[in-house]
Amino acid sequence: MPIDYAKMQREFPKQKAALTRALKKGHAAVVETTRKTIAQWNETGCWPDDWARWDRALDDAWWDAKSKYVKGELDEMPAHVSCNDIRWGS
């Protein structure tokens, strides 16, 4: 599959903005946004150089959710998810 660089350049700023919005909403939003973004990367044929930004966002959102769970603000502790988990379907 050839890499669609033009599509990647068009979509990447939108993907970063979506991640920023998701971080403000919480863990579930970050996981969902990351799932959509990884699907788009796979369709495009490449991942950006700073794909780890999404992995860090998943970690940050999970730690935030864990803190809320410990404080009693969440009823269930969400599962930790990484980009590799999403990419490979774990």
* pTM for the structure as a whole: 0.90
How many independent structural domains does the chain possess? 1
Mean pLDDT of 67-84: 95
Give the residue numbers spanning the domain of 63.
5-88
Taking residues 4-8, report their average pLDDT: 90
**Residue 2 banded pLDDT, cuts 50, 70, 90:** confident
Among 86, 85, 90, 8, CA closest to 50:
8
d(CA 56, CA 72): 24
User: Of 37, 44, 38, whose CA–CA distance to 18 is shortest?
Assistant: 37
pLDDT for the residue numbered 38:
96
Residue 90's pLDDT is what? 58
Q: Using the 8-state DSSP alphabet, how is residue 73 labeled? A: S
State the sign of the Cα–Cα–Cα–Cα dihedral 12, 17, 19, 20: positive
Cβ proximity of 86 and 34 under 8 Å: yes
Q: What region does 59 belong to: left with phi over 0, alpha with psi -120 to 50, or beta?
A: alpha
